[in-house]
Structures are given as structure tokens and as C-alpha cells.
Structure 1
Amino acid sequence: MDLDLIIRNGTVVDGTGADRRRADIGVKDGRITEIGDLGDARATRTVDADGLVVAPGVIDLHTHYDGQVHWDPHLTNTGTHGATTVAVGNCGFGFAPCKPEMRDRYMQMMERTEQIPYEALRQGMPWKWETFPEWMEHLRSLPKALNMASFLPINPLMIYVMGIEAAKSRPATEDERAEMRRLLHEAMDAGALGFAVTWLGEMNNHTDFDGSPMPSDIMEIEEAYNLAQVLRERGGGIIQANTDIPMLRNRRDVCAELAHISGATVIHNVIMVVPDSTVHLDVLAWLDECTEEGLDIYTQSIASRGWTEFTVLNYTSWDVLPVFKAFTDQDPDGKAALARSPEYRQRVVDEYDFGPQQHAGTRFHEFTMIDAAGAAEFTAHENKTVAEIAADTGRSVTDTFYDILVASKLQAQFTHLTRFVYDEKLVGPVLQHPRVLAGGSDGGAHVKFVAGGQWPTDLIIWLARDSDQFTLEEIHAKISALPARVLGLPDRGTLVPGNAADIMIYDLDELGYQHGRYEVRHDLPGGDWRKFVDVRGLRYVLVNGEITFVDGVPQDPRPGALVTTAVGATT
């Protein structure tokens, strides 16, 4: 057989859970034809994988590449770290359906909810669609290096049917609910996975451009239950439901009711492992109860050794606390005025609550100042926490932080580690649960202070190579085969003959990335910047049989397809 590609002599970890084995892989027309000893078989191209691991490409269920795909077809840094398929439309946020007069408003929303810069969206998006089927056709037509799947996001749907003011102020009428059901049917006919929703009330850092809640956060929950009926009628689909903020908001009952009404798969967001808390154990016990009841619910984890780098000009994670949201809602001059204000500083002292702040990533006094931005009195204190600087200078923690902001003209940079995921002995058992999904990069979002696409690389080296929490066989089943099964994509996520040739090839000993500091890349439309994490040791990534990355460098082929749960194959 003449093949398009042969991967020779690799250590194949096929994602099925089977033991690794040394084998060749043949690829033809984007599909795996054979795995074994291919002997004298000929191919247009050969990859020598001797000493390398050959595994299925990663499937990232939680991204926001709805905008970035228009200017970055390789979806970096998620694609950089071995992802070959991503889902968009998560959290109920997105760009379709959208009436032409609302386009600017949607971009403003996405700048605040997901921190995708408005100017990048304005310059980078062609807006060739109005309806959701037109959006899907647009995604299908885009040259892209990764496969994409899409949920119908509930906020654009509600706004499209009801109008923005009505969507924020009243329940939908029965006629409007009927129209939303019709449009969801239409969207799923066009390949939508199902729908995505956030319902967290006003305690949410994903707010509208003016700081007010998004429609879905304050809607009647019947709007989501109404849509769940569509999946029951269709006999399948997926609901992504962001209803749980550990230690702050528990609406897991909503996920259970969505699963009950729909009879379909529900992806609950989110499970975190938080030190000194058993909240993750509560979620696992709830999952077991749901499974016993016959409900098909999975939970999406935030599980990698992540960190955040930020200035207060672009940081919104602390918006779970009203006192900090009052700061975020200001323009730069307003922020500077509050930073100087004794009254505002006293309000911070009075309202500062460690519990919600920990949800935002870490506690206020544990922010580390990594760049004083020329503030002379603080330069010597770089790489110390706010608490340490306060002790050194004889100030309170609150005064120290806001004095740094004033002295640096809001330009000082801080970082904090993600407190809830650094103990592998806590994280490993949670991820081993059969209904816990790994990762979730949030790729394409929060680009000024975080990049999360390195999560597969991190889990492989952290939990499989450098500890005994997972074998390679287990970790690849978790990051590829399981999400493929959840999305209803039987031809992806495992390396077996007939499946799509979505493959990552890496040197296990060399696999890594720069942990703790981001690279800054000025590659957004208009030359704007974002945070980025590169990869080491990942030799090749293939999508539909084409090599899309070599040693972390994007290649010319853009073989990505639109994939859909409707048929379980490329469309």
C-alpha cells in the first residue's frame, strides 16, 4: 500500500488503556490504516519516532477560541501543547446568533466576560453570519489547523430572541421560549453539540461590559430547562453548565435537573481541589449519586499547575468580591483615584474575605510583585509577596498593595500560583474518577493575564512521568479518549485503524515548558500583546494526518475540520 505517512518505530500509547507497544502507524487520507510492523510499506513522508511516545491528540472541551481562530488558525497555545480538537461556545458566551446591529455589543461583552481584547475582535472578525447555522458554516469554511466543535451559547440566543434589555429584566414569554427551542433544533441540525449556560447569579466575575450581570446569570432557570427539552426530543446532545463556584455557589441541583429533563450528557463546571477543604469530595460523592440515578453527568476539572500574571489594568478574577469589582469597573483614572483613597482602602479592610478571594486564585496578601514598573521605593522588593513587602516596610497589607499601585501608576505586575492544584496526592485521585474530565484550557480567553493551553503537557509530566498518580496509558485515556467519548466522537481520541490521524509525538524525558513566567507575544490584530507558554520535547502534532506543529513551531497545513456529535465524524 502506498501511504501518505508512516510513523516508524514509536512507542504507541493508543488511548484505549492498552499497554504501550513499539509499532509503526500508517496514515492515508487523514485516517489511520494500520498499526504494527509496516516493513517495506512506502509513504510520501516518513517520521522517525524511535525513542518517542506516539499518542492520540488531546481533546480540549473548554476553550473560548471563537474569536482567536480568525487570526490564529493554530489556536496557540492550546495547539502548541498537543490539542487536536477543541470545543467553543462554552459558558454560554459567543458570537452567534447575532443581529447585525448587536455585533459591537457582543464584542464588548466578550472583552469583559473572557478578556478577549475588543480591538482584536473588531479588527480580526469578518462577521459573515447572523444565524447559528451560518456561524457553523463559517467555522467550517475557515482554514484552521485544529478541529473545532461548538455549543450554542445561551446568552446570544436569549438576546437574539428577546433583545438585550428584556433578556436582563424579565422571563421569556411562551412564544419566546418556543422560538428558542426552534433555534436550538436548527443549531443542532447544523452540528451544534448542544447548548452551554452559566447560571451563577451576581456572584460571578464574568460580567457584561458595564459590570452588570450577563443575562443567563440572572435569568429564570426555566429558560435552560426549556432548552433541555430539545435534547430530550432529539435523543441526545450535550449541555455545558457552569453552575458551581467551589466554596461560593453550589447549584449542582441545576445540573442534575438539566440531565433529568434532557436525558442527555451534562458537563458540570467546575471541580477544584482546594487545600483545607473537602469541596472536591462533595462533588465526587454527588457524581456517584447522579450515576446511580442514571444521570449522565461529568464534571470539568481545573487541574494543572497554573499561575496568573497581571496588572490591575487587566485583572478581573477578583470580581467575585464586590469591593474589588468596584475597582475593576473603573477606567484607569478611576482605578488610580480609588487606589489613593483612604475611604476605599478602609472598605477593602472591612470587606476583605479570604474564602471568596481564594476562589479567585489565591489570597490578596499572597500576590507576588514581579515588576515594580519603575516605582523606585519598591524595586528592591521585587519577587516578594505583598505580605512580605508589608512586613519589610512597616505598612499594612492593604496600604502596601495600593501604595505600589500609586507609585507604579498601576503598571506594577503581580503573579500568583493557582493554590488549588499543586498537591498531586490530592489532584491525582480526583482525576482518576471516571466522571472527572481533565484540563480545560480556557484557551483564547483571559489573554492578558493567563495562558492555560499547557495543561496536557503539565499533566503528563506532573502526574505520569514525575509521580505515580497515572501511567502513560491512563493519562492519555483521560485527556483524549474520555473527552472524545463525552463529545460523541467515536473516530477520535484513540489510535486505532479507521480513526482520524490526530496524533502527538513527544520525547517523554524532554517534555516540558517554562513554568512560572509567561512569554509576551505581540501577535494579536493591531500588534496587541498576550501571554503565551511554549513547549519543549513535543516533536510533532498531526491533525487529520497532516503535520501541524514541529517542535512547537506551527506548520503550513491547516487540515482542521468542524466536528459534530450529531454523526460522530467530520462534517
Structure 2
Amino acid sequence: MLDTLIKNGTLIDGSGGTRRRADLGLRDGRIVAVGEISEARAETIDAEGRIVCPGFVDAHTHYDAQVFWDPALTPSSNHGVTSIVAGNCGFTIAPLSGDPADADYLIRMLARVEGMPLGSLQKGVPWGSWESFGEYLGVLTGKLAINAAFLVGHTALRRMVMGKRAVNHEATPEEIEAMQELLRVCIREGGLGFSTTLSLTHNDAAGDPVPSRAASDEELYALADVVSEFPGTSIMLIPGVGAFDEETRERMTNLSLRAKRPINWNLLNPVSGQREVIEAQLAVSDYAAERGARILALTVPQAMSVRLNFLGGFALDALPGWSSVIGLPVEERKKALTDPETRKWMNEAASSKDAGPMAGLANWGVMTIVEVFKEEHRRFVGMTVAEIADEEGKQPFDALLDLVVADDLKTFFKPPIFGDDDESWQMRGESWTDERTIVGASDAGAHLDMIDTFAFSTQILGEGRRRTSITTEEAVHQLTEVPAKLFGLRERGLIAEGYHADIVIFDEETIETGPIHLRYDLPCGSPRLFAEAVGIEHVFVNGREIVRGTDLTGEFPGKIIRPGIDTDTVTIPAEA
């Protein structure tokens, strides 16, 4: 007897091929029949007029902490995501040394660099329940709604081996060897591979570069060598912003060659006016291919809306010299931001040539105030900084900082949404089907009150289909089989007999990302941006329904994805 029969649906199997009408039979977590099915079943779902497709795969999340207070991993699960990769950008909360100072460093770093509320991290995570990577995965096993793989973060490795020296210091040969051995242990215990960052936007709670930014190429390549020693492993990198120079192209290529794996990097954001930069970034894949390596860019499915503030300071601290101010304690930071001389050099630095592509942030007048935290400032919500400056007879930067300081740095403001024009959408659509990219870059679980890219799946199937020429079949293919193949996920990413029953049923006519709003449901009452999924009616993971309509079912059938057990090795041309 079947556990579930899904009948009368329109099947899009994830391969990119033509849709067809077919029934699906599920039993013991697998798809056991596709076609016309008459076998007895315990449950029947009538999918007449609906699309039935594989569950979506999210290549880039930061759910490493949220797994403890929200094991359903919302909103990803609501939006049809059935498998995620976490531990990206070099940031993980395992392994730990057992020294509370090391955990405290990671907590405060994540609060700063990934926009996770400090109170939520401190109170919502059961610190002390693990030290090793295997113990961390053990705490999660059998408790998640969706499948999850976890890369091993460079920062945790460095902190465990080097202690406080992990920041701003190169590792000695002995320390590199110790990190290699620690990474081996973590992968043996279930870590999917290795992640790291060199991005100027990644600073710790003190305003210093995160530990991995101090790594030499020798260290990076030595850790990539470890990835090559194990089957089914993966590697990812944040290389920086803007066009890549020769040194960066060579480093990325060598990482792929040394790991003997494709390397994915975050993020490619196609917008009009930057076509040359986008083409230059994609060209690193061609450069690598000529040398036998493989590099893939994670690309976003939407025009990005970003909320900024001076309390968290993410992105702002990447402006030249600004991390020295953003990294100050709150009261000292407020004092510095009040000082005319500090304001002068910060404003000049933000618009200088050294700021590179980040200099676009320095057009303060176009920023819109979106949230304030004191009643006397309510009237500014919805106004641009230029409008406030005109009203108060100030320069825009001074008007912004006066409000920010008076609001205890909590004020949220946002730049105009760039990339919502037709040319940008055309570029975006072209990037989704480019063999040098993977649709993703959701950052789900991070920057919780800053960005809304977590809904990438319904974005591409909703507005993405309306604004570009991509078909539903191709969009599903890019959300399922393509990322599943990148990570070598065994028997996932397609609807076929014998595959795991990770399935989404949706209404093609109505699928959409719902309105973005704040939800105050994090530990300690902190808010996060949230959006319901419109048009997604059922989500199955390993044959069990986890979402029905807008409701979670309370089922937790997700599996921890382990390299070589749940993944196959994905090679590069040099190893073919």
C-alpha cells in the first residue's frame, strides 16, 4: 500500500523537460511510482490544475543557529525549500574549544557580520550542548523539518586552533597543519566541506576583519587539499566585491584545483549600468575552465531591497575606515558620530575612489527612513534624507546622523531599489540559465531585519517568470536539479522512481512571494523580515508533508546530509 497518492497533477520533473500529466506514489520516504497509479493508498491528494515538482534546494543559507529555535526553518520551508546548505561564508558555530570565550567571540561576530540578534543567539542556542562538529550535528539529527547540510566554517577552525591570534595574524605552518587535521575530523563527523570569506564587508564585533581574512593563500590551499581527500565534499568562497583582479581569479581557480571540486561564490547581482562588472565577474568561470577548474556564481532572483542601520553596521563598515567607528561600543560610537571632524572624514571616505562599488551608499540624500524607535521621530518615516535635510537646513549626511544618534543608532534606512528596470530583469533572466551560475544567494537565516532574499524560490516562479522569458519548467530546473547536481545530492532534485520524496505542489497562476512584513517571533522578542508563500499548497520532505497551505504540519522528517553518504563526488574538468 502507498503512503500517499498524488493524483491528477501536472508533473514538472526538474530536468527541464516538457511537463506532463502523471500521478505520484510515495512509500517509505521514496517515490515508488510515476504515471497512472491504481494501487491502494493511505492518503490521496488531488493535484488537479496544480504543478507537482521536486522540492527546491537552497545553496546558501545561515541557519546554523536558527535550527535550535525554529527547527521548521521558516520561511524557507513555507516557500518549498526541502534541502539547504548552511555553514556558508566561513561562519559556523562548530567546532568549539570548550572555552566560553571562543563561543562568545562567535556569537558576537555572527550578530555583527550576519545580522542575527545578539539576544537570540545568546538565549536561543543551547551553548554547551556540543563541542565537536559531530556533536553539533548529533544535537540536530531527527529534529529538522527539511534536509540540511553543513559546511565547516574557516572562522571556527581558526579560533579553535589559534585562539585570539586568529584575528589579524597569519597562521604558522604548525597551525595550518592543526587546522587541516581539525577539518578532517569535522568532515569525517559529517561536515559537507569547507567555506571561507575574504570579503571586506565581513568584520567581527570589534570591527576587525573576521579571522579568515588574515589567511594566507598557503593556508587556504592547504584546507582545500583536505576537501579533496573525502568523497562528496564541497567548497565555497566569498571573494569580495566588484570585478576580480588577476590575483583573485588565480586564487579562486587554485582553490577549485586543489579541492578537486567546483567552487561556488556569493554573490552575482545583475543590474543595468553594471553590465561590464557582471561580465567580468562571470569571466572568472571561463578563466578557471581554461585551467581545468570550475567556478560557479550564486545569483539572486530579484531586485534587492536592503535596510541599513548604524547599530548593526553591516555593509556600512565596509566603507574605507568606517569599521573603526562601527566597531566602537554604542555610547562611544554615538559620541564619534556626533563629532564634526569624524563626520567629515567618514563622508569623504565613503565617496572616495577607495570605496569602489560601495561608494554608491554615499548618496545619502536618496535614502528613505523606514523605521525609527522613538515616538518623536515617527514623522520622519517615509521621508528621504534629502527631504529631512531641506526641512532642517542641514547637509544630508549631518541630517541622517543627527537622527541616527538621537534614535540610539537603531534607525533603519534604505537606498532606492536598484535593478527593478526592464534591462536589469533581462540581465537577471539571462544569468539564471547561464551555465556559470546557480540560482540562490538567499542568505536565509542571516540579516534577519535587513534583506528579504530568503524567498528566492517564489520570487523566480512569481515575478521572475513575469518579468523575464524563463519558463516554469526552466525555473524549476534551476531550483532543483541544477543545485542538487552541484552538491552531488543523491537521488534528490528530480521526480523519478526511487528518488527521495521531496515534493512541492503549487498553483502556477498564483505563486508569488507575499507582502514583506516584520514578525516579532525570535528569542528575546527580536524581529525578522518575513513573507508568506502564495500559491504553494503542499510541501513534502522524505515522503512526509511538512506544509499544507500556509500551515506547518508539525512533522520533522528532515535528514542531515553527510558527504559520501548522502552525496556523490562532483569532479572538475582537470579530474575527469
TM-score (norm 1): 0.91
Structure 1 SS opposite 2:265: strand
CA contact (8 A) 2:369 2:411 kept: yes
Instruction: Measure how far apart 1:216 and its partner are.
Output: 0.7
Deviation readout 1:297-347 (Å, 9 max, x if unpaired): 212123423322344333422111135434422333334334433223322
Q: Distance in 1 between matches of 2:97 and 2:420?
A: 41
Read off the aligned partner of 1:61 and give its amino acid letter: A
Structure 1 SS opposite 2:32: strand
Instruction: Measure how far apart 1:359 and its partner are.
Output: 4.2
CA contact (8 A) 1:320 1:360 kept: no
Instruction: Measure how far apart 1:135 and its partner are.
Output: 2.2
Q: Distance in 2 between matches of 1:564 and 1:164?
A: 31
Structure 2 SS opposite 1:308: coil
Q: Distance in 2 between matches of 1:510 and 1:234?
A: 44
Q: Does 1:556 align with 2:557?
A: no
Structure 1 SS opposite 2:2: strand
Q: Distance in 1 between matches of 2:447 and 2:116?
A: 6
Q: Distance in 1 between matches of 2:376 and 2:169?
A: 53
**What is the match of residue 430 of structure 2?**
429
Read off the aligned partner of 1:125 and give its amino acid letter: V
Q: Distance in 2 between matches of 1:79 and 1:359?
A: 33
Instruction: Measure how far apart 1:76 and its partner are.
Output: 1.2
**What is the match of residue 124 of structure 1?**
124
**What is the match of residue 267 of structure 2?**
270
Read off the aligned partner of 1:245 and give its amino acid letter: V
Summarize the alignment of residues 508-523 of structure 1 with structure 2, pairs less than 5 Å apart.
508-515=508-515, 518-523=516-521
CA contact (8 A) 1:237 1:265 kept: no
Instruction: Measure how far apart 1:388 and its partner are.
Output: 4.2
CA contact (8 A) 2:319 2:359 kept: no
Q: Distance in 2 between matches of 1:155 and 1:280?
A: 29
Instruction: Measure how far apart 1:364 and its partner are.
Output: 3.3
Read off the aligned partner of 2:448 and give its amino acid letter: V
Q: Does 1:251 align with 2:252?
A: no
Q: Distance in 1 between matches of 2:357 and 2:299?
A: 17
CA contact (8 A) 2:168 2:209 kept: no
Pick the aligned partner of 2:526 from 518, 525, 528: 528
Deviation readout 1:206-243 (Å, 9 max, x if unpaired): 21221111111012121110112223334662111111
CA contact (8 A) 2:192 2:233 kept: yes
Summarize the alignment of residues 353-502 of structure 1 with structure 2, pairs less than 5 Å apart.
353=351, 356=355, 359=358, 363-371=363-371, 373=373, 379=379, 382-391=381-390, 394-406=393-405, 408-420=407-419, 423-464=424-465, 466-502=466-502
CA contact (8 A) 1:240 1:267 kept: yes
Identity percentage of aligned residues? 30
Structure 2 SS opposite 1:213: coil
**What is the match of residue 85 of structure 2?**
87
Summarize the alignment of residues 157-306 of structure 1 with structure 2, pairs less than 5 Å apart.
157-165=157-165, 167-200=166-199, 204-234=200-230, 237-247=233-243, 251-277=248-274, 278-306=276-304
Q: Does 1:36 align with 2:48?
A: no
**What is the match of residue 330 of structure 1?**
328
CA contact (8 A) 1:79 1:453 kept: no
Q: Distance in 1 between matches of 2:411 and 2:178?
A: 49
Unaligned runs of 5+ in 1: none
CA contact (8 A) 1:305 1:458 kept: no
**Relative to 1, partners in 2 of residues 1:216 and 1:420: Cα closer, same or farther, differing over 3 Å?**
farther
Q: Give the count of matched residue pairs.
A: 559
Deviation readout 1:42-79 (Å, 9 max, x if unpaired): 22222221111111111111111000000101111222
CA contact (8 A) 2:15 2:481 kept: yes
CA contact (8 A) 2:371 2:412 kept: yes
The RMSD of aligned alpha carbons is 2.5
**Relative to 1, partners in 2 of residues 1:210 and 1:7: Cα closer, same or farther, differing over 3 Å?**
same
Read off the aligned partner of 2:253 and give its amino acid letter: A
TM-score (norm 2): 0.90
Unaligned runs of 5+ in 2: 569-576
